Amino acid sequence: MSKTATLYRMVTDQHICPYGLRSKDLLERQGFKVEDHKLRTREETDRFKEKHGVKTTPQTFIDDNRIGGYDDLRDYFGKGEAGQTGTTYTPVIAIFAVAALLTIAFQYFVSGDYISIRTLMLFIAFSMTMLAVQKLKDLYSFTNSFITYDLLAMKWLRYGYIYPFIEAYAGIGMIAQLPALAVAPFSLFIGTVGAISVIKAVYVDKRELKCACVGGDSNVPLGFVSLSENLFMIAGGLIMLLW
């Protein structure tokens, strides 16, 4: 026998509840036939909530028993919490992976080669520019996190606002192969200050902080990844000067 669930979710001209769609998808993936009741107006939604004594929609019913909203439904099926919780390296892994693929594609298109010293510099440059974009999307949030551990930003807060622009400039300059003296000093400077700051905060002071490397709203822990970002900047600057 097919299993049946009843779902009430808000669907108006102005708003389609994303958790209603997620609830419907989860039920279908669990083998349920869904009786999908769409609440078309705010008034209809309010009447439903008052009738059932609930504060939110969507609401799912199975065997005439109210399961609840999307999070309750996940608990019912033993799926755990929705979304990303706790500290994670996922954003950094995604950026570095895409930067590596971009590097290989770009290098192959330009020269037909895959691995060279230029490949390493391109990887560093693509990583820097992508990380800079993550910071630039919300400078206030980034600086709020950055100034808690960067030694220069602690003394001069405006450096936190300038930093992402320098990082983006250095990365773009490496890709464009601008003169080394026009790019490398910037990369070396922010990389060196950053590396010293991370080493002091994490390995000397033993502080547990979140890294601002992918923006101020991330859950990436400050530590090896942050140090790697700064070491990459130093390496990119040295490659430009010496290669």
Per-residue pLDDT tens over the stretch 139-191 = 999 999 999 999 999 999 999 999 999 999 999 999 999 999 999 999 999 99
Q: Where are the beta strands (DSSP E) in 47-179?
A: 59-62, 65-68
Residue range 80-102: mean pLDDT, rounded: 81
CB 176 within 8 A of CB 122: no
Q: What is the pLDDT of residues 92-138, one digit of tens each?
A: 889 999 999 999 898 888 777 667 788 889 999 999 999 999 999 99
Q: How many residues are recorded in the chain?
A: 243
**What is the domain partition of the chain in residue ranges?**
3-76, 90-242
When pLDDT is averaged across residues 64-83 and rounded to a whole number, the result is 88
Structure tokens at 15: 């708003």
Q: Give residue 152's pLDDT.
A: 96
- State the pLDDT at residue 155: 95
Averaged over 216-242, what is the pLDDT? Answer: 88
For residue 114, the model assigns a pLDDT of: 66
Its pTM surpasses 0.85:
no
Tell me which architecture the domain covering 3-76 has in CATH: 3-Layer(aba) Sandwich (3.40)
pLDDT tops 90 at residue 4: yes
Closest CA to 195 of 243, 149, 127, 147: 149
pLDDT at residue 84 is higher than 60: no
Q: Is 31 left (phi over 0), alpha (psi -120 to 50) or beta?
A: left
